[in-house]
Amino acid sequence: MADSPYVIAVTAASFRHIVVEGSHERPVLVDFWADWCAPCRMLMPILASLADDYGGKLLVAKVNTEEEQALAAEYGIRSLPTVQLFKDGRPVDQFMGALPEPQVREFLERHLPRESDQLLARAHRLLSTGDPEGAARLIDQARDLDPENARIRLVEAGIAAAAGDLRGAQEILDGLPRELAEDPEATSLKGRVGFAALQADSPPEATLRSRLEADPKDSDARYRLAAYRVVHGDYEGALEQLLALMKRDRAYEDDAGRKGMLRIFALLGEQSDLVARYRSQMLNALY
């Protein structure tokens, strides 16, 4: 074990706390290794040196696969060394083999926090408190500092959505680079923008309720009513409508009920009690 405060051995008992929960605070690089693996021994000092270089921006967690076989199997480890990077509670990237230091550093630079990210975090907070103008000023500063930071476009999409420019927000989201398109923040914003666009293109909510009372099989009314629920923050009400739609009419808009539920799950995040409850109901309805 390297003598570094940023390199730590983890077991199945400590993995969730150190890696899964810890990755919400900073990226965690998980090194799956074994004593008999010569490339593993070559890679170890490189990872320890980089952990020291980044000075706490990164934690290296080492998993001895001979002692933690179940943990290795859970994360699909089939060759050694395999190194997985965890952020926000999940693995987001990996590499296999003893890469040279420049390639490992390049791998890490794609994921480690940048100075401009601090400005983006502040812009997010301003946007959430109803100050899109202040958020836009911080975006300009972030672009001047780090024009290559693709996350700038993601915050710009949020600003456009907050201003009611749903088409502009969608265009930005559609143009995100592939490595950012599946980011939880991007997925959540796509869901919000999609439902907001549907709600904006729908009849008044009272009209939809009347249509549904007159004909419970009116799938279009039910789907659009779910969009109103999302826009107003009533996610449970939206999930109820979409679950009913999925049960009644899987053919409507190519299974829009199930797909709509998945969009809300992505919007709320896997830690939500609503997601756990309605995912179970969705699966029961499917099978």
Q: What is the mean pLDDT of residues 84-94?
A: 92
Tell me the pLDDT tens digit for each residue of 14-34.
Answer: 999 999 999 988 999 999 999
Q: Do domains 7-109 and 202-286 have the same CATH topology?
A: no
Q: What is the mean pLDDT of residues 54-75?
A: 94
The model's confidence at residue 118, banded by pLDDT at 50, 70 and 90, is: confident
Please report, for residues 172, 194, 220, 259, the alpha-carbon distance to residue 167 in angstroms, rounded to integers and kept in the order given: 9, 10, 22, 21
Q: What is the mean pLDDT of residues 2-22?
A: 91
pLDDT score, position 28: 96
Tell me the pLDDT tens digit for each residue of 197-225.
Answer: 999 999 999 999 999 999 999 999 999 99
What are the tokens at 152? 């700038």
pLDDT score, position 1: 46
Domain over 7-109 is classified CATH 3.30.43.10: no
Residues with a known catalytic role: 37, 40
b/e burial code for range 151-183 (CB count within 10 A of at least 16 → b)? bbbbbbbbbbbeeeebebbbebbeebeeeeeeb
Query: What's the residue count for the chain?
Result: 287
- What is the distance, to the nearest Å, from the Cα of residue 56 to the centroid of all Cα atoms in its chain? 23
Q: To the nearest whole number, what is the mean pLDDT of the chain?
A: 92
Residue with tokens 């926090």: 113
| Residue whose C-alpha is closest to residue 117's, from 191, 180, 164, 174 | 180
Domain over 115-176 is classified CATH 1.25.40: yes
Evaluate if residue 234 carries a pLDDT over 80: yes
Q: Is 176 helix (H, G, I), strand (E, B) or coil?
A: coil
User: Does pTM surpass 0.85?
Assistant: no
The secondary structure of the chain in percent helix, strand, coil, rounded to multiples of 5, reads 60, 10, 30
Domain ranges of the chain: 7-109, 115-176, 202-286
Residue with tokens 């980089």: 50
Q: What is the mean pLDDT of residues 5-16?
A: 95
Under CATH, which architecture does the 202-286 domain have?
A: Alpha Horseshoe (1.25)
